Amino acid sequence: MNIQHYVGKGRRTVIASALLGFVTVLSSTSYAADKLVLQTTWYAQAEQGGYYQALAQGIYKKYGLDVDIKIGGPQVNNMTLLLSKRADIIINYDLQVLKGIESNFPIKAVAAPFQFDPQGVLTHNDVKSLADLKGKTILVSTSGQASWWPWLKGKYKLDAAQARPYTFNMQPFLAGKNVAQQAYATSEVFQAKKAEPSSNFFLFADAGYPAYGGILVTRNDVNQNKPDVLRRFVKASMEGWKNYLADPRLGNSIIKKENPNMNDELLTFAVGQMRKLKLIDGGDAKTQGIGVMTDARWKATRDFMVSAGLLNTKTNWKTAYTTQFIKPAK
């Protein structure tokens, strides 16, 4: 009897059994998903629909992510929350990101779901083009004074005295026949059409306003330390936006729970405007996929800001964004 043969065979059997058990344990272990906090700019609404869709459909979960969507509002400064590390990613705007770079904020844009800013102007039906705004009172918010108003004023030779404060109350516009007001294509336009069906809306992007709409922004430390997590987040979010445009019902169900002021009629209108105006899938996204950003667009926004006196000419604008995470869902 070859005792060594049987001992060796037994040892191999024990080792094989142990390895099989180890693999079984590994395969049954549930690993925690990577956590991220996404801070929005406003209450839950269609303009954030792609993120809620990714949550509702389990897309974030599919990519190994546990995303906590925090609701914004008028008293929420999401840039402060990002810098203080209470948020990992925020929805913000390229003009504000460039101003942040000017102030040496450690931030970076990673994707632009909105190829065009939904911002525009509401007018009464006597205004047939933006050139007809001369002589009109135009209601402009504080943020508008530092973004689209200098562009509009310069392009159409408007007078600074035409601007009056916009307090997010539409009554002055509806009551004043010589009044125009700023508006989002996806929200105020809905209210205006209800009250005054003949009112007109002009999207600034159609006239060459270069800014993106809501973009995704993170801190440099997140960018440097969690590139794989960011890549998965961007991919999942863009997939969420693609699916939201196709069928927004799941995303809207969460939006309505988070914001009781939302209803199906308004959400349907907002999604319809996104589709009609190609806010998400138009522009460069038409050929390069949702979320794409280009040097040309960032430079155009930088050039406008410099010419309007909104940005120092020496600001290193190319550090404001990265395209390394954009693998669009075409």
Could you give the strand order of the β-sheet that contains 137-140, starting from the edge strand earlier in sequence?
163-165, 137-140, 179-184, 119-123, 200-203
Return all residues near 263 (Cβ < 8 A) that are at least 6 apart: 256
Residue 285 structure tokens? 């996204």
According to the model, what pLDDT value does residue 120 have? 99
> Which single residue is written with the structure tokens 């290193």?
316
Q: How many residues does the chain have?
A: 330
> Which single residue is written with the structure tokens 């008028």?
74
Determine the Cα–Cα distance for residues 174 and 82; give it in Å rounded to an integer. Answer: 38
How far is C-alpha 223 from the geometric centre of its chain's CA atoms? 17
Return all residues near 188 (Cβ < 8 A) that are at least 6 apart: 122, 170, 181, 182
For range 191-198, the mean pLDDT: 96
Q: What pLDDT digit, counting tens, does each position of 43-92 carry?
A: 999 999 999 999 999 999 999 999 999 999 989 999 999 999 999 999 99
Domains of the chain, first to last? 34-116+212-320 (3.40.190.10), 119-207 (3.40.190.10)
Three-state DSSP at 179 gives strand
According to the model, what pLDDT value does residue 326 have? 87
According to the model, what pLDDT value does residue 31 have? 53
Determine the Cα–Cα distance for residues 301 and 96; give it in Å rounded to an integer. Answer: 11
Cβ-contact 78, 185 below 8 angstroms? no
> Which single residue is written with the structure tokens 């949550």?
55
> Which single residue is written with the structure tokens 């869902």?
329
CA-angle at 52, arms to 48 and 288, nearest 5°: 65
Three-state DSSP at 102 gives helix
Cβ-contact 72, 40 below 8 angstroms? yes
User: Which amino acid is located at 329 in the chain?
Assistant: A
Residue 60 structure tokens? 């974030």
Handedness of CA 305, 306, 310, 315 (dihedral sign): positive
In the chain, the largest separation of any two C-alpha atoms, in whole Å, equals 110
- Of 300, 319, 306, nearest to 97 by C-alpha is 319
Judge whether residue 23 has pLDDT over 70: no
For range 227-232, the mean pLDDT: 97
According to the model, what pLDDT value does residue 327 have? 59
Determine the Cα–Cα distance for residues 324 and 166; give it in Å rounded to an integer. Answer: 38
Cβ-contact 214, 41 below 8 angstroms? yes
CA-angle at 267, arms to 44 and 168, nearest 5°: 65
For range 11-37, the mean pLDDT: 54
Determine the Cα–Cα distance for residues 267 and 190; give it in Å rounded to an integer. Answer: 10
0.75 surpassed by pTM: yes
Q: How far apart are the two ends of the chain, measured CA to CA in Å?
A: 68
Judge whether residue 254 has pLDDT over 80: yes
Q: What pLDDT digit, counting tens, does each position of 298-310 carry?
A: 999 999 999 999 9
Cα separations in angstroms, 248 against 51, 54, 242, 271, 330 = 11, 11, 10, 8, 18
Using 50, 70 and 90 to split pLDDT, how confident is the model at 32?
confident
Residue 242 structure tokens? 């693609």
What number of other Cβ atoms are within 10 A of residue 17's Cβ? 10
